[in-house]
Structure 1
């Protein structure tokens, strides 16, 4: 293997990249949502009562309902995206069948816009058209790989599983410690977990990790504080 080949050996090229990014994105978002939503729920309940049964019921209800909601939302969203991609592919296939010369000229101009000379752009467009016209147009015009469309089931399952894993953290943190330590331990565990998921999501998207983690930590801390204050207020006034 040559030096350039070795340098690029670990890069995420080829078929399946879109699928991997799809389920990874859904997984990170699901875990983050599971952590924040269930933590806010159980911390709010803990502010009102120390009853283990109430905390367990609230946490499990939030976990199950949230996991189902996340899975359904991802499935609907990604299904819509997949339907749109399929419609664009069908449209491009029809145009190639009914007006091939216009499509060849269009592909040539797209390569010209990328900096190729007129002669080189014509040659590249013609050779790619002879090899696989549809794939060439989908890639250059739309950025779509017809063999690597997003999968709604992958996104739904990844989101549900990651939400459940994320939700288990605050649920265990609120149930296992003694009553006086429940809220502080949950706060600490949740903020550390949010910092980690922020760093992971930033790495996936190529963004600065510190900024992404800080946003999640500040937002999560605010959500926990508000729900705890509401629960404490309701418990003090005897509403619950």
Structure 2
């Protein structure tokens, strides 16, 4: 068994764990949970799935990272760099294909860890990782323009960025100023709180303030409920995605991409 699983708990108990540390950990966990609430839903929507799947992932993933992680102060959360890969996988193989690709990439990373292949990641040039991350940021930004400006497209939003920008430009006349005002208010609150009150949960405050603003002025903007329906009040029962050699072969390139990106992001 890896030495990060057992000694972590043993060392905590050996050092002593009292009410003061429990209180500090509880407040830290509450802060992370508050920040993860809007972030997990936003990343799920940007990835092409419903916001409830983002909440499920944040809850289950956060628990597993805390339980099995190699550090007592490690925090797990969604990584924006995966948005493009997840959205492409969902578009090609559906949610079941995404789950299977994620499962396969996990086994790949475990195998890479036992084979100590992480040492080779250091040979990837730093400008490559910076350019890769910057390119993903541009793609994510372009994917948010439709909702940022409240645009109405004639058909489905194209996937390739060049076609996407062209379609968005053609729909420039359908800008919703209510959506623009709401987005600007949300971004402004986040940036302002990050500067004057960096320890406050700026994202949650921004979501609450902007939602109140829209409700009081009755602005004609879409909500999570109007677009995706209600949020379930419980977790679904765990289940494996459909398994077959044909499906595994189809999602193998996506699983390999997940594993490589996960290795680069973590190291």
TM superposition score category, shorter chain reference: under 0.3
TM-score (norm 1): 0.25
Decide which structure has the larger Cα Rg and report it.
Answer: 1
TM-score (norm 2): 0.23
Identify the structure with the greater helix proportion: 1
Higher relative contact order (CA closer than 8 Å, sequence separation 6+): 1
